[in-house]
């Protein structure tokens, strides 16, 4: 069955603009167009669009998704690459969570210091919260 970009977008729950971007970035294989120049999406294209959506839900970037699709189109099972990409994303998330934990600790210390300064009547040049955080 042939689908217009609007119908394809509706079928997978994204905007037509997103599909056009994915097409421009090479995530979709070249396909036929109508005489008016409109792209015609096949059922296989719809499945690729669904794959792209699921991949984005997992946090994969468009270049990562393209690389996976390229491997698939070359006849190579991309699951090993997907595992490596997901492992890298998990490491990034773990690192970000650790950094956020450190930031939270720093922010809490800054607030405690500012509250102490406020209770002790210490003057601030601009803002006691930020000025006390240097010592935190």
Q: What is the pLDDT of residues 78-105, one digit of tens each?
A: 999 999 999 999 999 999 999 999 999 9
pLDDT, greater one: 40 or 125: 40
Please state, rounded to an integer, the average pLDDT across all residues of the chain: 88
Q: What pLDDT band is residue 136 in, cutting at 50, 70 and 90?
A: very low
In this predicted structure, what is the pLDDT of residue 128?
Answer: 66
Token couple for 49:
């669009």
Dump pLDDT digits (tens) for 49-66: 999 999 999 999 999 999
Q: Report the pLDDT averaged over residues 6-26.
A: 94
> What is the C-alpha separation between 86 and 135, in angstroms, rounded?
39
> What is the C-alpha separation between 17 and 62, in angstroms, rounded?
15
In this predicted structure, what is the pLDDT of residue 133?
Answer: 65
Q: What is the pTM of this model?
A: 0.76
Q: Report the pLDDT averaged over residues 100-127.
A: 80
pLDDT at 77 over 60: yes
Q: Measure CA 10 to chain center.
A: 21
């Amino acid at each position: 069955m042939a689908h217009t970009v609007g119908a394809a977008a509706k079928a997978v729950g994204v905007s037509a603009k997103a599909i056009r971007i994915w097409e421009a970035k090479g995530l979709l294989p070249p396909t036929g167009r109508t005489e008016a120049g409109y792209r015609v999406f096949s059922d296989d294209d719809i499945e690729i669009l669904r794959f792209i959506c699921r991949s984005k839900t997992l946090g994969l970037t468009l270049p990562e998704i393209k690389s996976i699709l390229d491997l698939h189109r070359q006849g190579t099972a991309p699951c090993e690459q997907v595992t490596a990409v997901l492992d890298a994303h998990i490491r990034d998330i773990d690192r970000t969570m650790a950094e956020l934990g450190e930031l939270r600790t720093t922010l809490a210390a800054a607030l405690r210091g500012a509250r102490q300064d406020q209770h002790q009547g210490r003057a601030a040049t601009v803002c006691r919260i930020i000025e006390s955080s240097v010592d935190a």
